[in-house]
């Protein structure tokens, strides 16, 4: 029997599992972050100049509206397939889901990198790019949902490490954007560098995932659920045999805690619904103003051309991603409020105050500016991004603690769905807020 055996957790030697979990988190978001930073490259390849009969160049003949389509075709499959993964994970093994998703993502980014030097008609290039965006997000949804389920089987601090890895991916993208602004390299070479990097990172993520089950610390936790299930099955059979021999001794039904079967998706949701709604609110608030409002904030030092050139990259993207990473890492040191505290949802709802605060910064063409100085914007952005990472990490770490071990994967998949739901709701709300400033 499982409880009768020596089953104290082995040591995480050299913090190998911690490093792998951190890199898995980084690998899930690093490719897409680099895809976003190449937006200018895609727009330029889709620009068709209008050459008149006298040889002059007029306005483009066709506007592909790349950024709008990119947003639509990223959130939609991410939301749909995250939901699908929450229900079909029991029919497809987790190892197959993760490995196959990473292989497809690696192939799609390799294809995108290979097409950088290839001349293509804008219509064809647009179709290929949109298809790539759709499928990358489709498999990213399955990948993230599956990995959150795996991380949910480990101690809570590993969920924090996973989220911290995802936060570091944003810093990589922001630094890459800054380098592209300051470098003298041509845009084609910069784009090629962008897409080679996520190719390497995705391949590294796959290798790390395949290595994980071979480490004693990870194997202990990943196999514990199966052992628990086997043990409880034996206990149930033993109890049934006893009841058959003495039916008057115990006529009770087996409780949910004693059942060897996994709980239904709805049963798991009833236990984690507070955390699910909290993570939705956290990301809905964040995406409603970042980046649609924050990128429009201007520096008051317009006379300083060098600072004006990098202001948005530094004060918007780098500050956000750096403080978001700090927030994602903080729960490894302190976890407050607790998962049972009413202050937790109160803290999540309090982030709604960041929406008017950021809208009152020095936004371009804004009708009313209250915080005009750069330092005010940086302070608000720092608090905004730190609270985003901190509260989101707590949500993802608390949810698996509210269910049985064998239901942790279901909880992780559901939490990922509500995380993506928050992203979608925030992106939708951003259209309205963008018109209000």
**In the prediction, which pLDDT does 347 show?**
96
**In the prediction, which pLDDT does 353 show?**
97
pTM, two decimal places: 0.72
**In the prediction, which pLDDT does 84 show?**
76
| Chain segment 202-259, per-residue pLDDT in tens | 999 999 999 998 888 888 888 765 555 454 444 434 443 444 344 444 444 444 454 5
| Same-domain check for residues 141 and 279 | no
Helix ranges, 115-215 (H): 122-151, 156-182, 187-211
| Same-domain check for residues 86 and 159 | yes
Which tokens is 336 given?
């407050």
Residues whose CB falls within 8 Å of the CB of residue 4, separated by 6 or more in sequence, listed in order: none
| Same-domain check for residues 189 and 281 | no
| Same-domain check for residues 352 and 421 | yes
| Same-domain check for residues 218 and 295 | no
| Same-domain check for residues 284 and 428 | yes
Neighbour tally for 366: CB within 10 Å? 18
Q: Residue 57: inside a domain, yes or no?
A: no
| Chain segment 255-307, per-residue pLDDT in tens | 445 455 778 889 999 999 999 999 999 999 998 888 778 888 999 998 888 89
Looking up residue 182, the CATH number of its domain turns out to be 1.20.1250.20
Contact between residue 361 and residue 207 where contact means Cβ atoms under 8 Å apart: no
| Same-domain check for residues 156 and 273 | no
Q: Residue 87: inside a domain, yes or no?
A: yes
Expressed as residue numbers, the domain containing 266 is 261-437
pLDDT band for 355, please (50, 70, 90 cuts).
very high
Distance of alpha carbon 173 from alpha carbon 254, whole angstroms: 52
Q: Residue 106: inside a domain, yes or no?
A: yes
Eight-state DSSP code of residue 388: H
390 vs 406, higher pLDDT: 390
Query: What share of the chain has pLDDT > 70, as a percent?
Result: 81
Q: Residue 107: inside a domain, yes or no?
A: yes
Give the 3-state secondary structure of residue 373.
coil
Distance of alpha carbon 102 from alpha carbon 27, whole angstroms: 9
| Same-domain check for residues 167 and 80 | yes
Q: Domain boundary at 206, 238, 270, which? A: 238
Contact between residue 167 and residue 153 where contact means Cβ atoms under 8 Å apart: no
| Same-domain check for residues 207 and 312 | no
Q: Domain boundary at 204, 238, 272, which? A: 238
Q: Residue 420: inside a domain, yes or no?
A: yes
**In the prediction, which pLDDT does 236 show?**
38
Of 166-175, 352-361, 365-374, which one has max mean pLDDT?
A: 352-361
Number of structural domains found in the chain = 2
Residues whose CB falls within 8 Å of the CB of residue 6, separated by 6 or more in sequence, listed in order: none
**In the prediction, which pLDDT does 398 show?**
93
| Chain segment 60-106, per-residue pLDDT in tens | 557 676 665 776 677 778 888 877 766 666 677 888 888 999 999 99
Mean pLDDT taken over the chain: 81
| Same-domain check for residues 231 and 267 | no
Distance of alpha carbon 361 from alpha carbon 369, whole angstroms: 6
Helix ranges, 250-361 (H): 265-289, 305-311, 319-329, 343-350, 354-359
| Same-domain check for residues 204 and 312 | no
Give the range among 113-127, 380-394, 417-431 with minimum mean pLDDT: 417-431
Q: Residue 247: inside a domain, yes or no?
A: no
Stretch (H or E) spanning 32: helix 16-37
Which tokens is 246 given?
């003495």
Contact between residue 24 and residue 209 where contact means Cβ atoms under 8 Å apart: yes
Which tokens is 36 given?
């976003």
Give the 3-state secondary structure of residue 246.
coil
Distance of alpha carbon 361 from alpha carbon 372, whole angstroms: 6
Residues whose CB falls within 8 Å of the CB of residue 128, separated by 6 or more in sequence, listed in order: 115, 120
Strand partners of residue 361: 371
Angle in degrees, CA 116, 135, 71, rounded to 5? 80
173 vs 126, higher pLDDT: 126
């Amino acid at each position: 029997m499982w409880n009768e055996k020596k089953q104290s957790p082995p040591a995480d030697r050299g913090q190998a599992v911690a490093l792998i979990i951190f890199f898995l988190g980084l690998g899930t978001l690093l490719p897409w972050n680099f895809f976003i930073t190449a937006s200018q490259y895609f727009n330029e390849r889709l620009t068709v100049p209008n050459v008149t009969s006298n040889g002059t160049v007029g306005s483009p003949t066709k506007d592909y509206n790349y950024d709008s389509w990119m947003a639509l075709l990223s959130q939609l499959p991410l939301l749909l397939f995250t939901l699908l993964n929450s229900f079909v994970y029991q029919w497809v093994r987790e190892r197959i889901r993760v490995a196959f998703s990473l292989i497809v993502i690696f192939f799609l980014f390799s294809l995108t990198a290979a097409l950088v030097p290839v001349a293509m008609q804008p219509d064809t290039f647009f179709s290929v790019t949109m298809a790539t965006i759709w499928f990358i997000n489709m498999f990213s949804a399955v990948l993230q949902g599956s990995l959150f389920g795996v991380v949910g089987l480990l101690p809570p601090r590993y969920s924090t490490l996973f989220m911290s890895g995802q936060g570091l991916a944003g810093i990589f993208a922001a630094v890459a954007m800054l380098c592209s602004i300051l470098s003298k390299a041509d845009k084609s070479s910069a784009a090629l560098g962008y897409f080679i990097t996520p190719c390497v990172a995705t391949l590294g993520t796959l290798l790390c995932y395949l290595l994980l089950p071979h480490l004693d610390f990870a194997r202990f936790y990943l196999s514990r659920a199966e052992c628990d299930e086997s043990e409880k099955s034996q206990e149930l059979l033993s109890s049934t045999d006893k009841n058959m021999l003495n039916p008057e001794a115990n006529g009770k039904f087996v409780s949910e805690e004693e059942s060897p079967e996994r709980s239904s998706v709805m049963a798991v949701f009833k236990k984690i619904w507070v955390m699910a709604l909290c993570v939705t609110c956290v990301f809905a608030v964040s995406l409603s103003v970042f980046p649609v409002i924050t990128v429009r904030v201007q520096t008051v030092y317009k006379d300083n051309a060098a600072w004006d050139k990098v202001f948005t990259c530094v004060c918007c993207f780098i500050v956000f991603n750096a403080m978001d990473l700090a927030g994602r890492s903080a729960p490894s040191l302190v976890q407050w409020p607790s998962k049972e505290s009413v202050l937790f949802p109160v803290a999540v709802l309090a982030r709604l105050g960041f929406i008017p605060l950021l809208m009152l910064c020095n936004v371009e063409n804004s009708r009313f500016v209250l915080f005009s100085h750069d330092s005010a914007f940086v302070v608000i952005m720092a608090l905004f991004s730190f609270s985003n990472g901190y509260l989101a990490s707590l949500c993802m770490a608390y949810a698996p603690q509210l269910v049985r071990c064998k239901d942790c994967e279901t909880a992780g998949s559901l939490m990922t769905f509500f995380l993506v739901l928050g992203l979608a709701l925030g992106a939708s709300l951003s259209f309205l807020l963008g018109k209000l400033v």
